[in-house]
Amino acid sequence: MISRRHWLGGASAGALALALPRPALAGAQVEEPLIDSVRTALSSAIHNQAPPVPEFASTEAHLAYLRWLGEMSERLKKKLPDWPTRQEFLQTAWYESKRAGLDVSLVLGLIQVESNFRKFAVSSVGARGYMQVMPFWTRAIGDGDASKLFHMQTNLRFGCVILRHYLDRERGDLFLTLGRYNGSRGRAPYPDAVFANQRTWNFNDRTAVA
């Protein structure tokens, strides 16, 4: 079970301040040895430049995805005005979140906090792209070309795989996972900001319920 330890449904003043648009935060992840499955997932992202194509087990699952895509597209329009770019971003975020076993609303909330949906965001410590991935991750898999972290699918694959890696290390504790991702493990402002922004991207599929 994934736990939001210390998150009680409200956001502190500091968390709300972090939720507002601002310079890139820097996903100050710490370089560490990688297990083979993580290394393989990151390596495949480097070599695959095409956006992923979601597959669905049923027509209803496909329709549910299209409803999600339509609603998220409206919410994201001010940040990504170009429809093809917005569609590709949401399709990739959805695919990579599901692939990593993460809630897509959490991933979108993290992206809003980290880069405010700016593809070419660079932090003061060099973290790059939508999910503010540190360049050492490209060295860890033997490629070393940090410019690839500005590629949409590569950045989102790296970010989601790293987040899942940390979630496994923290045994499902989202509070500690997010702190580890940001380099502030055990401190509340960053996880609280992500949780606050996650609410913007929650999807209540009323059509499916009806």
* pLDDT tens per residue, range 143-164: 678 898 999 999 999 999 999 9
Domains, the chain, with CATH or none: 13-21+35-209 (1.10.530.10)
pLDDT score of 104 more than 50:
yes
Calculate the alpha carbon distances from 133 to 33, 63, 80 in Å: 16, 32, 20
Question: Which residues face 133 on adjacent strands?
Answer: 128
**What pLDDT band is residue 175 in, cutting at 50, 70 and 90?**
very high
Provide CB contacts within 8 A for 149, sequence distance 6+. 128, 129, 133, 135, 137, 138, 155, 158
pLDDT score of 203 more than 50:
yes
pLDDT score of 210 more than 90:
no
Distance of CA 32 to the CA centre of its chain: 20
Instruction: Give the count of beta carbons closer than 10 Å to the beta carbon of residue 140.
Output: 18
Return the closest-CA partner of residue 106 out of 5, 197, 1: 197
Name the average pLDDT for the chain: 83
Instruction: Give the count of beta carbons closer than 10 Å to the beta carbon of residue 16.
Output: 14
Q: Please tell me which residue, 12 or 175, carries the higher pLDDT value.
A: 175
Q: Where are the beta strands (DSSP E) in 79-158?
A: none
d(CA 77, CA 6): 32
Length of the chain: 210
| Entry pTM | 0.79
Query: Dihedral of the CA atoms 174, 26, 107, 8 (nearest 10)?
Result: 40
Residues 175, 3 contacting (CB under 8 angstroms): yes
pLDDT score of 19 more than 60:
no
Give the pLDDT confidence score for residue 35 in this predicted structure. Answer: 59
Of the given ranges (29-33, 64-68, 196-200), which has the lowest mean pLDDT? Answer: 29-33
Give the pLDDT confidence score for residue 114 in this predicted structure. Answer: 96
